[in-house]
Amino acid sequence: MMNNKMERALPLQKKAIWKKLQNHKIRLEKTDIIDLFNKNPKRFDEFSIQQGEFLLDYSKNRIDKKAFDSLIELAESCHLPAWMDKMKAGHNINHTERRSVFHIALRAPADEVMETEGRNVIPEIHEELDKMETFVKQVHSGEWVGYTGKKIIKVINIGIGGSDLGPYLTTQSLRPYWIEDIELHFVSNLDGAQLALTLEGMDPETTLFIVASKSFATLETIYEASTAREWFLEKAEDNEHIKHHFVAISSNVEKATEFGIAPENIFRMWDWVGGRYSLWSSIGLSIALQIGMDNFRQILAGAHAMDKHFFEADFHHNIPVILAMLGVWYRNFFNYDTHAILPYDSLLHLLPSYLQQLDMESNGKQLKRNGATARYATGPIIWGETGSNGQHAFFQFLHQSETVVPVDFIASINTHYPLRDHQSLLFSNLIAQSEALMKGRNLDEVLENLSPDSPDYDHQQLIARYRTFPGNSPSNTLLIDKLTPYNFGSLLAMYEHKVFVQGVIWNINSFDQWGVELGKELASQLQRDLLHGEHMEDHDPSTTGLLKHYMKVSD
């Protein structure tokens, strides 16, 4: 008989609990979610959780109590508590980059002690926050002026991936908190069109550039920043003026200085902040400029509250753990490949893109921590769109295709923009979709509603099958009282921890991203070849053909 310790040391698919879950899946495969409700009138209470201003309803999932308990047992069997302790204790859990993963420290209060590499990092984090605060106040008050003495009114954040998506999503989501005399833009794409269009009509005298790059080595960011510098100097002429218009956020102070950023204009970040986990650091400078430092601190406080919940709540009542384990359930036992994020809140329109990076750059991997290939599925494809827009685009697929897609519906109950009955209509649509996905509609129900007196009766009978829905599609619904900076911080921290938990179950390192390297290396070689018209034949025939065509057609 195997004891607990031995069971825990086994590879994922060899664990008894894994086999137990496979049996639960077989048992539940033929069960409709609606029947689980019929059998258990308390199902909503048992499979929903309220935490702060969040209500998570996960009752519309293909689980029952036994399967759910087994999922939690799997989390324990995969040493989740120990991994959480390691994260909290600042251990190098990002082993391939020899770094700790300590974004949780960025949102901890000033009186906490959080150590990594033998150092309490909280004082330096708060020092940097204070530096941000001073800068933000100077810009807002007009104390910080451009080289001709004019107030800064436009800010352009140049960055990509985590140095763009987090701040971009945050400022879009918190539109009601904007400080209106600052106009903020984001430039991320290498495509010159984005920068050219952003600069159109801007005045170098009143524009501030934030060059946001942890490494200060990302091709897109550095190239765009140098184009921006050129544009600026065309009018300002003197390099001395750069210090009034360019600030940087980086852990690579040397490179930022080399670029020409004044040392006092460099906001620090640390190696232990992953790019996609960085909006809580000085990468959030654009956020603070747009919504004020107090609101930025509220975002941190909300994230910290979710951290506390994650580290302290037992797994049966732990929102990130529950979401993560349901994801594992569908990915590994039902073999569902994708997961949709459907915010019924247009302010959250960038959430699916943000979560694509967070989830897919973290868990889109097949090598386990020991370097061996995981012979099971890992992170799903994340996609989505706001409701109700999505209803008129891909919901057809969600309802009637053969492919099942688990979804997260997200809504804030109290809107910042009350307008007639828009909010209740929007909410009714969300609920209608989750209900329809679960219940579906069978042929009898369609036929029952046909009236033989209708002139169209024959045709309606003929097409009755097209109006059936298989149903039994799982969904989570997260309702937030209101989309405040605090709740927004909690929301993102919730997904961060979900992704971390899944990485632990799959035994992968969620915090590196080696998969982005090869393309970067090839691109820089190809760029040299294109510029010099060399080595065209050194590639595969397709690549050679494309390069030659580009050379032929480009002006």
Q: Which chain residues interact with ligand F6P by CB under 6 A?
A: 160-163, 213-215, 218, 221, 275-276, 361, 513, 516
> Measured from the CB atom, is 270 or 409 closer to ligand F6P?
270
Rounded Cα distance between 214 and 303, Å, is: 21
Q: How far apart are CA 555 and CA 547, in angstroms?
A: 14
Q: Is 520 a catalytic residue?
A: yes
Q: Can you tell me whether residue 203 is helix, strand or coil? A: coil
Sheet bearing 54-57, strands edge to edge: 48-51, 54-57, 475-482, 407-414, 338-343, 381-384
Paired with 26 in beta bridges are: none
Question: Which of 520, 534, 548, 549 is flagged as catalytic?
Answer: 520
Which of 5, 30, 42, 392 is catalytic? The answer is: 392
Report, in Å, the least distance between residue 281 CB and ligand F6P: 11
Shortest gap between Cβ of 185 and ligand F6P (angstroms)? 18
Catalytic status, residue 535: no
Contact 480, 165 (CB under 8 A): no
Residue closer to ligand F6P by CB (options 160, 328) is 160
Across 447-459, b (16+ Cβ under 10 Å) vs e yields eeeeeeeeeeeee
Q: How far is CA 2 from the centre of its chain?
A: 39
Contact 410, 487 (CB under 8 A): no
CA 521 to chain centre: 26
Question: What are the start-end ranges of the E strands in 344-474?
Answer: 381-384, 407-414
Show Cβ contacts of residue 206 under 8 Å, excluding neighbours closer than 6 positions. 146, 150, 151, 152, 153, 154
Clarify whether 392 is annotated catalytic. Answer: yes
Closer to ligand F6P by CB, 163 or 286: give it: 163
The minimum distance between CB 211 and ligand F6P, in angstroms, equals 9
Question: Which residue's CB is nearer to ligand F6P, number 218 or number 502?
Answer: 218
> Closest distance between ligand F6P and the C-beta of residue 280, in Å?
13
CA distance 215 to 220: 12
Provide, rounded to whole angstroms, the least separation between the CB of residue 186 and ligand F6P.
13
Which of 67, 279 has the CB closer to ligand F6P? 279
Cβ-based nearer residue to ligand F6P, 112 or 191: 191
Q: How far apart (Å, rounded) are the C-alpha atoms in residues 205 and 238? A: 13
Phi-psi region at 423: left, alpha or beta (left = phi > 0; alpha = psi -120 to 50): alpha
Smallest gap from Cβ 157 to ligand F6P, in A, equals: 12
- Name the residue number minimizing CB distance to ligand F6P: 275
Q: Which of 361, 365, 368, 385 is flagged as catalytic?
A: 361
Residues annotated as catalytic are 361, 392, 520
